[in-house]
């Protein structure tokens, strides 16, 4: 299939496919007349890349998965290098979760302290009640 069809089926732009080709993630096979030529295996490569990017992986992190698929494995995560990338991502996510939990605990502690020490809100004033009456001439006569 040609690049336009592959892009449409993968839900990507032809520009993205050319970029992946320049990065060595998508093979650059050409027909006799110079058109790029792709097959179903290339579509699987792109689906793998898209899935990884949806999970927050960097484009370069997809390389071991692509290499695994190209070597004939049915899935891109069947190779040890791919598993290493998964492990590294999990460690990164665990560190982010731990940091967010630490910040959450600090915010919760500040909120608890603020609720204990906050001054009570002043009573609401209603200026409408006095609007219909003339103002007293002596300020001490005000209610």
Question: What pLDDT digit, counting tens, does each position of 78-123 carry?
Answer: 999 999 999 999 999 999 999 999 999 999 999 999 999 887 777 8
Residue 138 located in a structural domain: no
Reply yes or no on whether the pLDDT at 128 is more than 80: no
Reply yes or no on whether the pLDDT at 127 is more than 60: yes
Q: How many whole angstroms separate alpha carbon 71 and alpha carbon 106?
A: 49
pLDDT of residue 136: 58
Average pLDDT over residues 24-51: 93
Residue 44 located in a structural domain: yes
Domain limits at 46? 3-117
pLDDT of residue 137: 60
Residue 139 located in a structural domain: no
Residue 136 located in a structural domain: no
Residue 122 located in a structural domain: no
pLDDT of residue 125: 80
Q: How many whole angstroms separate alpha carbon 45 and alpha carbon 25?
A: 8
Query: What CATH code is carried by the domain that includes residue 46?
Result: 1.10.1660.10
pLDDT of residue 142: 53
Q: Measured at the alpha carbon of residue 57, what is the angle toward residues 56 and 61, in degrees to the nearest 5?
A: 175
Reply yes or no on whether the pLDDT at 7 is more than 80: yes
Q: How many whole angstroms separate alpha carbon 1 and alpha carbon 42?
A: 10
When divided into structural domains, the chain yields a total of 1
The mean-pLDDT minimum among 62-66, 90-94, 110-114, 124-128 falls in 124-128
Residue 134 located in a structural domain: no
Residue 125 located in a structural domain: no
| CB contact at 8 A, 74 and 46 | no
pLDDT of residue 68: 96
DSSP track, 54-102 = HTT--GGGGHHHHHHHHTT-SSTTSSHHHHHHHHHHHHHHHHHHHHHHH
Residue 108 located in a structural domain: yes
Distance of CA 142 to the CA centre of its chain: 61
């Amino acid at each position: 299939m040609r690049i336009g069809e592959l892009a449409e089926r993968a839900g990507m732009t032809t520009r993205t496919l050319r970029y992946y080709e320049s990065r060595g993630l998508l093979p650059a096979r050409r027909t006799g007349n110079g058109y790029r030529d792709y097959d179903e295996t290339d579509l699987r490569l792109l689906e793998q890349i898209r899935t990884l990017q949806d999970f927050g992986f960097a484009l370069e992190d997809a390389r071991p998965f692509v290499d695994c698929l190209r070597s004939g494995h049915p899935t891109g995560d069947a190779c040890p290098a791919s598993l290493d990338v998964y492990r590294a991502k999990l460690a990164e996510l665990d560190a982010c979760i731990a940091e967010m939990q630490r910040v959450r605990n600090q915010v919760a502690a500040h909120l608890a302290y603020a609720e204990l020490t906050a001054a009570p809100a002043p009573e609401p004033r209603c200026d409408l009640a006095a609007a219909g009456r003339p103002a007293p001439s002596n300020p001490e006569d005000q209610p």
